[in-house]
Structure 1
């Protein structure tokens, strides 16, 4: 079998250029083993140095930040800083301002026409998420405009419409009443709470709400949409948390119940349901998708880069 000189002559120990397959594989395996040993030795020495001087570990972690689509996203002019006074002034006068001034939400949940048991069951599960909400089966003869009028007459603040096609949920529309706005989302990966846990127990407590990573002006508008569906004062004794997490413009919804094990640690149990939303359009004013004024509408031509996000 070739020695080190032969290995250097035939590709620096990797076995390239050797016709005999067995010899080539043996050389390559020795190369991989030696490389793994060098890497292990380097990590061992690094661990010893960091144990003796903890500041080296802090410096290494600060310098070795992995690149992701999130931290390398393209610059967005509508990005909102935490102390942006212009945004705060606009939010004090928008359609959601009464809610943040103490108005209690009242939500009606319904479906598209001729909905099957799939949409009806998921609507009932949404009813357990939003406090002071009611699920109503939609008759085939009622239009969304008639449902909105029904809600306005009974002082509902929001209407949620589940859209189903061929026994599959595909979209969700949230209409803020009485003067809008309206948000339409693509709905994907819905999972029932009973598929996550057959013995799930739901209490009527108001959950805590977490809105994560809504950083642009559009993202703030969408976040306020979700916030207006929940009472401002959570009931902590219920130990429930509802989370809307935005990642690359996909909004992941999860609901958990937590249980404190110690002063600094808590166990989480997902109680569902879970689903993913992606904003398709946001419309100003009353619901009118045909002739209304759109604040934002998604078009495929807008996806010029995988690192361009809008929320």
Structure 2
């Protein structure tokens, strides 16, 4: 008999498993999520309304990026920072029915951070942002329509990962407009979350079949990237809304966590 087929070893299939990886249909996890901060959103009793803002002195790159994010998130509204402290912005947004705040930060000319605050009671997540490419700089890019996009979440398999995935999901409507053929993807690979924004396109093409004189019309599909694209890495998850002094953290990334290349947290 033939020897069994050898499967190449990758960091994914040699991952160090731990007790936080969630198995399918875990009753305890499902019971917890039925009562968490995002339950109302998944039950469609709360509609997303997102406030976008920035650090104190945004550059032209930041404004170009925000314009694309406003096209990506139909339920988002931009408010200029104007020197307000984050605690005041949280109070303002809560009083006006916003469900989430996204604060984009930059260091020098580079965008380097995202703070996500779920309202009214948290949690607050801080991500490092890298590898930003605007849609206008992507070859063959399209322009987003106003249709509500579909959402794809990949590989958020631990308790922490599911929590972060639910945080991303709460930014988007539960009833996507499929006619718009627009899809937003958060793909987690080795604790790096890749953000992508596409439209899928159906095209009729005539192709000659072997042994036949006439061409046959076939419908083919392809993806057109709309942008922007960027990468996120979770640095901390904090209970409640933003509190830099006395906030209690659910999870914090520490340098010693990076000693094993086969251990992932999301």
TM-score, normalised to structure 2, is 0.90
**Aligned position for 1:274:** 229
**Aligned position for 2:75:** 132
- Residue from 43, 47, 53 that aligns with 1:104: 47
**Aligned position for 2:212:** none
**Aligned position for 2:181:** 239
**SS class of match (2:259):** coil
Cα deviation code 1:53-99 (max 9, x no counterpart): xxx9xx88x72221100110101210001110100000011111111
**Aligned position for 2:211:** none
Indicate whether 1:292 and 2:247 are aligned. yes
Higher deviation after alignment, 260-269 or 91-100 = 260-269
- Residue from 176, 196, 203 that aligns with 2:145: 203
Give unmatched runs, 5+ long, in structure 1: 1-55
**Aligned position for 2:213:** none
- Paired with 1:308 and 1:253, the residues of 2 have a C-alpha distance of 22
Higher deviation after alignment, 235-244 or 262-271 = 262-271
Indicate whether 1:173 and 2:100 are aligned. no
Is the 1:169–1:188 Cα contact (8 Å) retained in structure 2?
yes
- Residue from 157, 163, 166 that aligns with 2:105: 163
Cα deviation code 1:234-276 (max 9, x no counterpart): 1000001100000000000111110134788521111100000
Higher deviation after alignment, 210-219 or 146-155 = 146-155
Indicate whether 1:91 and 2:46 are aligned. no
In 2 relative to 1, CA 181–199 (structure 1 residues): closer, same or farther, beyond 3 Å?
Answer: closer
In 2 relative to 1, CA 194–182 (structure 1 residues): closer, same or farther, beyond 3 Å?
Answer: same
**Aligned position for 2:96:** 154
**Aligned position for 1:186:** 128
What is the number of equivalent residue pairs in this alignment?
A: 252
Cα deviation code 1:147-192 (max 9, x no counterpart): 1111112100000000011111110011000100001000001111
**Aligned position for 2:9:** 67
**SS class of match (1:146):** helix
Indicate whether 1:308 and 2:263 are aligned. yes
**SS class of match (2:65):** helix
Give unmatched runs, 5+ long, in structure 2: 205-217
- Paired with 1:115 and 1:282, the residues of 2 have a C-alpha distance of 25
Higher deviation after alignment, 258-267 or 276-285 = 258-267
CA RMSD after TM alignment: 1.8
- Paired with 2:140 and 2:257, the residues of 1 have a C-alpha distance of 42
- Paired with 1:223 and 1:116, the residues of 2 have a C-alpha distance of 29
**SS class of match (2:250):** strand
- Paired with 2:188 and 2:121, the residues of 1 have a C-alpha distance of 26
**Aligned position for 1:80:** 22
**Aligned position for 1:44:** none
Is the 2:141–2:227 Cα contact (8 Å) retained in structure 1?
no
Is the 2:197–2:225 Cα contact (8 Å) retained in structure 1?
yes
More strand by share: 2
- Paired with 2:70 and 2:24, the residues of 1 have a C-alpha distance of 32
